[in-house]
Amino acid sequence: MQFAAFAGQVAEIYPDALDTINFDAAMPDMAEAMGVSDQHIATAEQVAAKRQARQQQMAVQQAMQAADTAGKAYHAGKDAPEEDSPAKELIDAAKG
C-alpha cells in the first residue's frame, strides 16, 4: 500500500511514472495483501468485458458529439452570407 501512495505522489509531478506500473497485476496482489477475498476481485474476463463496454460507450458518445457538431455546421452554413458581411466580401473577392 505504501508503494501505491508513493506512486500517487510521484504522479502528481510526473504523470508518466504511472506508465511503469502494471496495475492489472498489482491490484490483485495488493488486495490479497490487505486480506480481500478473491470473490471481491474481478476475473480477467470480467475486467475485459467492463473495458469493452466502456470503450463502446465512449465510441457512442464520440459519434453523438460528431453528429451534433456536423449538424450545427450544416445549419450554420446552409444560408447564403448576409450582404456586407466579411464572408460575403471574401466570396465576392474570390469570384473576381
Condensed to tens digits (0 to 9), the pLDDT of residues 21-65 reads: 999 999 999 999 999 999 999 999 999 999 999 999 999 999 999
Q: Indicate the pTM of the whole model.
A: 0.62
The pLDDT value recorded for residue 11 is 95
Distance CA 41, CA 70 (A): 42
DSSP letter for 80, please: P
Q: What is the residue extent of each domain of the chain?
A: 1-41, 42-96
Single-letter amino acid code for the residue at 5: A
6 CB burial (10 A radius; 0-12, 13-18, 19+): exposed
Q: Which three cell numbers stand for residue 39?
A: 470473490
Give 30 or 85, the one with higher predicted confidence: 30
